[in-house]
């Protein structure tokens, strides 16, 4: 890749990352709106080209995205939290059963084995109870990742390849 391509890519990542961190949940709203508008445009193009069925489906999807996009997003976060909760409980039970079955397991290994499912249990509680806050944190983390990728891109553009 050319240096200019690295710099453009890095600049876009940095700009998006900064927007994600500053605007937080508003970015999700913007993305939902852009998706709805894109679906309307694609529907109009389909209708213009005579593909009536596809156009109608895309219009219905656009209406659904624009009207209930946030609701679906919050429901998805809660479902993710429930799935993570069930997984955590199953994992904790599995570790305890293994410790009881194989009595020679060391206490340090037992405690270390419980750390990951315990953290997942806490995360699941956070996801289930905080809906919108979880979305904001996910956007902030994505923004930080984009900023780091942008900085790496700038360094990669500046430092010559061997």
Q: How far is CA 81 from CA 13, 50, 90, 137, 155, in A?
A: 29, 43, 14, 14, 37
Burial class of 9 by CB neighbour count within 10 A (0 to 12, 13 to 18, 19+): middle
pLDDT of residue 1: 56
For residues 6 and 53, which has the higher predicted lDDT (pLDDT)?
A: 53
Q: 99-158 pLDDT, tens per residue?
A: 888 777 777 777 888 888 898 888 888 888 886 677 788 888 888 988 999 898 888 888
Q: Which two tokens stand for residue 157?
A: 């553009």
- The whole-number average pLDDT for the span 76-81 is 82
Residue 162 pLDDT grade (very low, low, confident, very high; cuts 50, 70, 90): low
C-beta neighbour count of 84 within 10 angstroms: 20
Backbone φ and ψ for 113, nearest 5 degrees, come out as -65, -25
**Rounded distance, CA 147 to CA 9, Å?**
11
112-130 CB burial, b ≥16 within 10 A, e <16: ebbeebeebbebbebbbee
Q: 29-51 pLDDT, tens per residue?
A: 888 888 889 989 999 999 999 98
| CA 104 to the chain's CA centroid | 41
| This prediction's pTM | 0.58
Q: Where are the domains of the chain?
A: 3-158
pLDDT of residue 26: 81
pLDDT of residue 120: 87
């Amino acid at each position: 890749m050319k240096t200019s391509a690295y710099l453009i890519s890095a600049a876009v990542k940095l700009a998006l990352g900064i927007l994600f961190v500053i605007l937080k949940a508003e970015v999700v709203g913007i993305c939902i709106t852009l998706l709805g508008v894109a679906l309307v445009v694609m529907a109009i193009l389909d209708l213009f080209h005579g593909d009536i069925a596809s156009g109608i489906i895309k219009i219905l999807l656009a209406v659904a995205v624009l009207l209930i996009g946030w609701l679906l997003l919050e429901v998805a976060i809660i479902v993710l939290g429930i799935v993570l909760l069930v997984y955590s409980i199953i994992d904790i039970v599995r570790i305890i059963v293994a410790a009881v079955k194989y009595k020679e397991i060391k206490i340090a290994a037992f405690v270390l084995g419980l750390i990951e499912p315990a953290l997942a249990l806490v995360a699941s509680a956070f996801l289930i109870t905080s809906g919108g806050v979880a979305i904001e944190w996910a956007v902030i983390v994505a923004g930080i990742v984009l900023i780091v990728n942008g900085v790496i891109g700038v360094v990669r553009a500046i430092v010559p390849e061997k």
